[in-house]
Amino acid sequence: MAVYSRIAGTGSGLPEKILTNKDLEQFVETSDEWIASRTGIRQRHVAAEGETTCDLAERAARAAMEAAGVTAAELDMIVVGTTTPDLIFPSTACLLQHRLGANGCAAFDVNAACSGFIYALSVADNFIRAGNAKTVLVVGAETLTRMLDWSDRNTCVLFGDGAGAVVLKADTEAGILSTHLHADGGKKELLYNPVGVSVGFKPEEKNAGVRVLMTGNEVFKHAVKALDAVVDETLEANGLQKSDLDWLIPHQANLRIIEATAKRLDMPMDRVIVTVHKHGNTSSGSVPLALDEAVRSGKIQRGQLLLLEAFGGGFTWGSALIRY
């Protein structure tokens, strides 16, 4: 009998501090109108001093586990998608595992930038399908504001901090129908952070280690094209039509990209989950945050068909088709 993975529970973790576009006007040359018209973002959550990626991940994980009715002892694996881990090592997943009291199960991070949650979800799904795990905690968590240059108005207005989580459980009924992952390392220069362990942190440079470098217009073009292709790939792989989808849950980076994908799918915006206006781009946290909000608000109902998709630095991109 075939084994599938189903989403048993979802959760979110957001910092209390909210930074609005009006707040940004006080220290960088920008305006609420300029930011909102180009991105759809009105505010974002920002981690407090001493508040880490693992703190946000723990909040999301506990909420998802409670919703799923799962204890720490039942977890076979923890996979955390993040590009802003607490430490270089051990992984944030290991730190999270200990906090939850799930010591002993497999735990590791996946770094695929904004596609991190989709990648982590795919890894977990494949472990369950292979029979190597029955209950897996999957988290997307970031504190991207820690590596922003707050004097660069092209990037500092875009990002926020947050975490989302799901608990996957093995089931004989199909939940995650398919996942599709892609990457193109040849586009590194269009969206990246130039420092690292092996390359070096270069502390003498201004804002070393806190710079997201991005060529926005090029990223936009590549993102729309890549997401179009992966949407087609996903529907074709499952023998479905665009009209079969109940909800689109996209990466929350830019409202224009979201609208372009929805248009391609002939989906009205009221069938698209949008949180970018209040969360900004939380990278790997964005898709699970949007999913959790839609589930808890009652929009998403059991049995409905969901298309999750994301695009991020690398470039990386991917999708997941889910019968919720």
In the prediction, which pLDDT does 288 show? 98
Q: How confident is the model at residue 204 (pLDDT cuts 50, 70, 90)?
A: low
Is 206's pLDDT higher than 80? Answer: no
Range of the domain at 71: 4-173
Question: Based on the structure, what is the number of domains in the chain?
Answer: 2
Radius of gyration of the chain from Cα atoms? 19
Cβ neighbors of 84 (< 8 A, separation 6 or more) are 53, 142, 143, 144, 146, 147, 283
- Which tens digits make up the pLDDT trace of 299-314? 999 999 999 999 999 9
Average pLDDT over residues 92-117: 98
**Residue after which a domain boundary falls, among 124, 153, 173:** 173
Is 207's pLDDT higher than 90? Answer: no
CATH of the domain at 242: 3.40.47.10
Is 113's pLDDT higher than 90? Answer: yes
Is 205's pLDDT higher than 70? Answer: no
Residues 128 and 246 in one domain: no
Average pLDDT over residues 113-128: 98
User: How many Cβ atoms are within 10 Å of 302's Cβ, its own excluded?
Assistant: 9
Burial class (CB in 10 A: 0-12, 13-18, 19+), 26: exposed
**Residue after which a domain boundary falls, among 104, 138, 173:** 173
Residues 194 and 308 in one domain: yes
Residues 189 and 160 in one domain: no
Residues 66 and 39 in one domain: yes
Q: How confident is the model at residue 136 (pLDDT cuts 50, 70, 90)?
A: very high
Whether pTM exceeds 0.95: yes
**Residue after which a domain boundary falls, among 124, 154, 173:** 173
Q: What is the mean pLDDT of the chain?
A: 96
Which residues belong to the active site?
A: 114, 251, 281
Average pLDDT over residues 269-275: 98
Is 130's pLDDT higher than 80? Answer: yes
Average pLDDT over residues 32-49: 97
Residues 274 and 149 in one domain: no
Residues 166 and 182 in one domain: no
| Joined tokens for residue 298 | 């009652």
Residues 193 and 53 in one domain: no
CA atoms within 13 A on the CB side of 293: 20
Is 223's pLDDT higher than 80? Answer: yes
Beta bridge partners of 281: 159
Q: 15-24, 186-195, 236-245 — which is least confidently predicted?
A: 186-195
